[in-house]
A and B are shown apart, each in its own frame.
Chain A
Amino acid sequence: MGTDARPPPRQLAARLQRALGGGAGWKGFVLQLLFVILVAWIIYAVVDNVRTNLETQRIAAGFGFLTNNAGFDVNQTLIPYSQSDTYARVFVVGLLNTLLVSIIGIFFATLIGFLVGLGRLSPNWLLSRISGGYVELLRNIPLLFQILFWYLAVLGALPSPRQSISLFGVIFLSNRGLVVPTPIPQPGLEAVIAALLLAIAASLLLRFYARRQLFQSGRIMRIWPTIVGMLIGLPLLAALLFGVPFGFEIPKLRGFNFAGGSRVIPEFVALTVALSTYTGAFIAEVVRGGILAVHKGQMEAGSSLGLSRGATLRLIVVPQALRVILPPLTNQYLNLTKNSSLAVAIGYPDLVSVFAGTSLNQTGQAIEIIGITMGVYLLISLVTSAIMGFYNWRIGRSMGA
């Protein structure tokens, strides 16, 4: 007999039994059902208990407070906000501030992490020792201390606005933050933007053409000088032809602070620097681990092909290492986002500070506000995970794994 007999098709009931009860059969199913009922009952009991307790103690409940007037101000808002806006808007303001510091922090942490991680593996003795020292110093000091250090010791030592450090009389650095001129659009702006878009489109086309040349005839084209030339040259040409795209509002010292211009508050700088250098140290180790996980034969293969160390890393080792790096890298991104809630210590108006802080105190609705805040952090983390998961899946697919 060359072939095995096909097993008889399983009956529906048996299949259902297996799906619902696992290996334990119907007994397992009953146990699972009981467990679900137990969990549902606990949730119900908690919710019911909360409602009864709040009612009997006459503590205000519900989400109606979100449409009430907040009545307080916030010193960094990405959307227009004034004290006559609602708590719902305070929530958005806080959320955007949290996202801002997280996204910028993640960007710099990744940059620092990859540089330091690669530096630690460098054959250059000094570079690898400095990178190693950086990692050990940064990851072994509690984050809160680092935030306070940047805020109080570094930025707190800056002079007052009246003695601020000035760059060309237009950029000012003081203990109130960095004040820079605000660009104001002029008529020439549209032409410059159009030229920039044109340059980007042309660059993409050129890159597409260069890749086809590479795959069809093996000819390597040096395209980056042309691209840089186009990206800078075309908008410059448009500006010359149609007039300057921006005017600038120069900040001036008026009263206690600078009037006009745009300001980066020191709380934001301290928090971003602390978060990205701290998380960068962890990412450096993740990157180092990922690269060491790639067999050293790959590196040797690269050099035997005549590729430089940089090119071997970029084209051969790092793409393979990414599969190992991504899951722990996601963890670090999530940590950074959650750690951003330490902002309250230095007065950066993030979600925890303005919503779970001031708003909670003014309304007294702890359960709702803490619930919303926890839900939002969960959501941010899940979205980050999902994005990284998708990226991981794409890498896995492109490598044929």
Chain B
Amino acid sequence: MKRVSVVLALALAAGFSVPATAQTLKTVKDRGMLTCGVSQGLPGFSAPDDKGNWTGIDVDVCRAVAAAIFNDPTKVKYVPLSAKDRFTALQSGEIDLLSRNTTWTLSRDTTLGANFTGVTYYDGQGFMVKKSLKVNSALELNSASVCVQTGTTTEQNLADFFKSNNMKYEVVAFAGADETVKAYESGRCDAFTTDASGLYAYRLKMTNPADHVVLPEIISKEPLGPMVRHGDDQWFDIVKWVLFAMVDSEELGITQRNVDEMVKSDKPEVKRVLGTDGNFGEQLGLTKDWVVRIIKVVGNYGETFDRNVGAGSPLGIARGLNQLWNKGGIQYAPPIR
């Protein structure tokens, strides 16, 4: 991992980075392939399945962007990145888009030379412990050893939580997610902390998922979203609106199954979204039917959520905050008009 970041830093230093006025869309079209930075395997978000195909809610963002550009969701090259290397890979131009359960924070938005394009998943940091410890609350974790992956916002949240509750703890920080989970399972730590969605995902990977319990406390706000480089507003808009289009489609009831009928709909809002009225796709530098292409491939936001992390997946996470704004959640997208 260290070597990767050294190489990336050197690439950055040697100035392989794209010029500020880069036309990412043109580069991607010329290459015939979108390069997308994903995680090294987080079930539900981005992980290769048993056939080696990448799946997950973060992967669906990549596939949706590829569908909107090429009308072909397979034209994506996935670059698995550790938490540590992800930003350097984006800065150095190795990837066009980072869709890797990354928390939107002010310092990341301002100092990394990159922008967040929206929120794919509203998350928060939680704790997991072994059931046998009989711990019911994170506030009972005084003097515990806590395993955590380095290179994330998690370490700071952890430090803040224990400090503000006047509790002592020992942090054991690993570079890779798998090592972290293994150390927790082997008993090196009493608790394992990461984003709550991640806790559910990693629990599936453990030898005995039923022996572990996720504590109720959520100690931070972790809005996860995709990132693009500074300096290319057109590309920024495309990635931003692909996600918005998925949320808007769910709101309008456009699904993977009914999209072909919906194209014939005469509801003005649906017509604008699906491109039978206006030229919104072209304004983005895409085609008129860009949303149709997206929905046919990945479905609307709700379908993606269900299939990857929600009720229709092994993770079985409730929609919660990620429900649409008019159904009790906070997922809200500006209108396509």
Contact = CB atoms under 8 A, between A and B. Distances in A.
Interface of A: 46, 49-50, 53-54, 56-60, 71-75, 83, 152, 156, 160, 175-176, 254-257, 259, 266-267, 341, 344-347, 349, 352-354, 356-358, 360-367, 370-371, 374
Contacts of A83: 156, 159-160, 163
Given A353-B150, A366-B88, A344 B1 contact: yes
A155 to B, nearest CB: 9
Contacts of B133: 256
B12 interface: yes
Interface string B16-30: 010110000000000
Contacts of A54: 113
Interface in B179-193: 179-180, 182-183, 186-188, 190
A59 B159 contact: no
B15 A53 contact: yes
Interface string B76-97: 0000000110011001000000
A171 B246 CA distance: 60
A75 B143 contact: no
B229 interface: yes
A344 B175 contact: yes
Max chain A C-beta neighbours (<10 A), residue from B111, B133, B173, B190:
B173
**Closest 9 CB pairs between A and B?**
A49-B15, A59-B113, A56-B20, A57-B113, A60-B111, A255-B143, A361-B151, A72-B155, A344-B175
The binding surface of chain B is classed by DSSP as mixed
A176 B147 CA distance: 12
A152 B162 CA distance: 28
A172 B241 CA distance: 59
Given A57-B20, A73-B155, A366-B5, A361 B171 contact: no
Given A46-B14, A50-B15, A83-B156, 11 more contacts: A46-B15, A50-B12, A73-B159, A175-B187, A255-B143, A256-B145, A344-B175, A358-B151, A360-B151, A364-B112, A370-B6
Nearest to A59: B113
A138 B156 CA distance: 39
Given A53-B17, A59-B111, A71-B159, A344 B172 contact: no
A374 B6 CA distance: 9
Contacts of A354: 150, 173
Nearest to A49: B15
Contacts of B180: 347
A341 B5 CA distance: 14
The binding surface of chain A is classed by DSSP as helix
Contact of A72 (B88, B111, B171): B171
B126 to A, nearest CB: 18
Given A72-B156, A344-B2, A176 B188 contact: yes
B223 interface: no
Interface string B188-230: 1010000000000000000000000000000000000000011
Contacts of B106: none
15 contacts: A46-B13, A49-B15, A60-B112, A156-B187, A254-B143, A256-B133, A256-B141, A344-B2, A344-B150, A345-B174, A347-B174, A347-B180, A357-B173, A360-B84, A371-B9
A358 B150 contact: yes
A56 B231 CA distance: 8
Nearest to A368: B9
Contacts of B136: none
Given A57-B91, A175-B186, A254-B143, A353 B19 contact: no
Contact of B151 (A46, A74, A346, A357): A357
Nearest to B105: A362
A357 B175 contact: yes
Contact-size category for B? 35 or more
B230 A363 contact: no
A366 B179 contact: no
Max chain A C-beta neighbours (<10 A), residue from B8, B13, B150, B152:
B150
A347 B179 contact: yes
Interface in B134-169: 141-145, 147, 150-153, 155-156, 158-160, 162-163, 169
A353 B173 contact: yes
Contact of B108 (A73, A75, A364, A374): A364
B170 interface: yes
A361 B13 contact: no
Nearest to A257: B143
Contacts of B183: 156, 346-347
Interface string B255-283: 00000000000000000000000000000
B163 A57 contact: no
B174 A344 contact: yes
A346 B17 contact: no
A267 B172 contact: yes
Contact of B179 (A74, A341, A346): A346
A74 B8 CA distance: 26
A73 B172 CA distance: 9
Contact of A370 (B9, B152, B190): B9
Contacts of B176: 345
Max chain A C-beta neighbours (<10 A), residue from B14, B160, B187:
B187
A30 to B, nearest CB: 29
A347 B113 contact: no
A356 B2 contact: yes
B188 A266 contact: yes
Nearest to B2: A352
B171 A367 contact: no
Given A175-B188, A360-B5, A366-B88, A72 B113 contact: no
A57 B111 CA distance: 9
